[in-house]
Structure 1
Amino acid sequence: MHNPDVYIGTIKPLGQGVSSAIAKRQVDGSLLLTLEGLEGDEQAALEYHGGADRALCHFPREHYAWLRQQFPEQEGNFHPPALGENISTLGLTEDNVFIGDIFRWGDALIQVTQPRQPCYKLNTWLQCQDLSLQLQQSGRCGWLYRVITAGKVSGDRPLELLTRNSEMSVAQAIAIAYSMPFDEEQYRRLMSAAGLAASWQKMMQMRLLNRKIEDFNRRLFNSEKKE
């Protein structure tokens, strides 16, 4: 079992015409986790953030040491919750957390739905031009949850794995989505993972339909692919 640090934030301007709720603050004590997320937490750009399949963001605390090494000029910035996560723990990583895993957290039940998709707002927020790309290429993305049962949660209540529902780790999902060449068999394998977010089901279906991998540049850098 793993006791989490818990963070919430409200939407604020980041500059360059961009708004985000990436600036989080730690919450001590009990708070309500609803089907849409933690009470008092907000998300901007709802087509990419929030919603039933993306109610909570979890980023492993151990990744921050790697980030400080990668970006020494900004090392003072790399401490939880710098990446806008709601949950930070030690001991849970992309390698040992699986798509569809159901955890008990306090009175609530939550399920892993997808890896986080790093975006350009991280670059702006932490003043690192290729931070989102580095996270994606290294597989240090974190992951998202849906809330199966709402309830009271807190940092004093551990995350307890109840059921494992697939053989697809978050690390494997990241590798299939971002590091491999086009592979229909692997896309179908990922889609078969119980609990996978609807948006990831759609992403894999579109790859199979279009016979190509989508352009990552708009998400990673807020730019279109240059031919």
Structure 2
Amino acid sequence: MSRETVIGSVLAVLTGKAVPFVRPGAVSAIAKQPLAGRASVGALGLDGDEQGDPRHHGGPHKAVHLYAFEHYARWRDEIGPRPALGQPGGFGENLSTLGIDETTRCLGDQLAIGSAVLEISQGRQPCWKLNHRFDQRDMAKRLQDSGRTGWYCRVLREGDVGAGDDIRLLARPHPEWTLARLADVFYRRGLERELLLEIARLPLVESWRQLIEKRLESGQLEDWSRRLDG
């Protein structure tokens, strides 16, 4: 794959501060705001960005969250106009992208953006905070069922990123496993043993590996109600 293969671009770079959120004791930094200039990207994400729940968000394998801006129009068609759909950042993304989405990105894709290099580590597993963010009681489940979840990247090379940067594909080690296909197995075909065995051979983050192993062992799906409903 050529280092000059441009596959998309960055519409906006966004960060947020962790603040109290909806319920007593809950904290979130989902309300990301676009930056006017460039942002430094380190091993744990963008400089100045925070996470309200470090147990489930952030860390080296969830350092940068990307979301396709093209999805916004489809959400407006489905749930109507909402304040969070008025500009990038509605889904808590760090990079709002143009030209790429879950159907065209694969697990392990290496992306050069600005002077940084990112690697797609996992799709997003949406949580109940989106229900409040969009004033839509089933928004997290809608996101999960749609496959339009966005995705996380780890940082292979630290650097800086800015709005208008090209997104270049440097490597694609697993072209058969788009994020959309992974989501289809995780959320709709979750007990098909041959698919689970195939996924188990991928370089999964530890939490996803444990999930697959438990399914293979137990033959049962997880209860997602706490994550989706709170």
TM range (shorter): over 0.9
Deviation at 1:181, TM superposition (A): 4.3
Q: Distance in 2 between matches of 1:76 and 1:42?
A: 22
TM-score (norm 2): 0.91
Q: Distance in 1 between matches of 2:9 and 2:136?
A: 30
Query: What's the counterpart of residue 87 of structure 1?
Result: 95
Query: Which of 188, 202, 212 is the aligned partner of 1:204?
Result: 212
1:185 maps onto 2:194 in alignment: yes
Deviation at 1:60, TM superposition (A): 0.7
Unaligned 5+ runs, structure 1? 223-227
Query: Which of 15, 34, 56 is the aligned partner of 2:64?
Result: 56
Q: Distance in 2 between matches of 1:181 and 1:203?
A: 10
How many residues were matched structurally?
Answer: 220
Query: Which of 109, 112, 117 is the aligned partner of 2:120?
Result: 112
Deviation at 1:91, TM superposition (A): 1.1
Secondary structure of 1:43's aligned partner: coil
Q: Distance in 1 between matches of 2:104 and 2:179?
A: 8
Q: Distance in 1 between matches of 2:225 and 2:36?
A: 37
Q: Percent identity?
A: 34
Deviation at 1:193, TM superposition (A): 2.6
Contact 1:67 1:75 in 2 (8 A): no
1:10 maps onto 2:17 in alignment: yes
1:214 maps onto 2:222 in alignment: yes
Q: Distance in 1 between matches of 2:39 and 2:83?
A: 29
Q: Distance in 1 between matches of 2:63 and 2:84?
A: 25
TM-score (norm 1): 0.92
1:26 maps onto 2:28 in alignment: no
Query: What's the counterpart of residue 225 of structure 1?
Result: none
Q: Distance in 2 between matches of 1:91 and 1:161?
A: 12
Contact 1:7 1:81 in 2 (8 A): yes
Query: What's the counterpart of residue 82 of structure 2?
Result: 75
- Residue by residue over 1:186-209, the C-alpha shift from the partner in whole angstroms, topping out at 9 and shown as x without a partner, is 112222234x32221122112223
Q: Distance in 2 between matches of 1:191 and 1:49?
A: 23
Query: What's the counterpart of residue 169 of structure 1?
Result: 178
Secondary structure of 1:3's aligned partner: strand
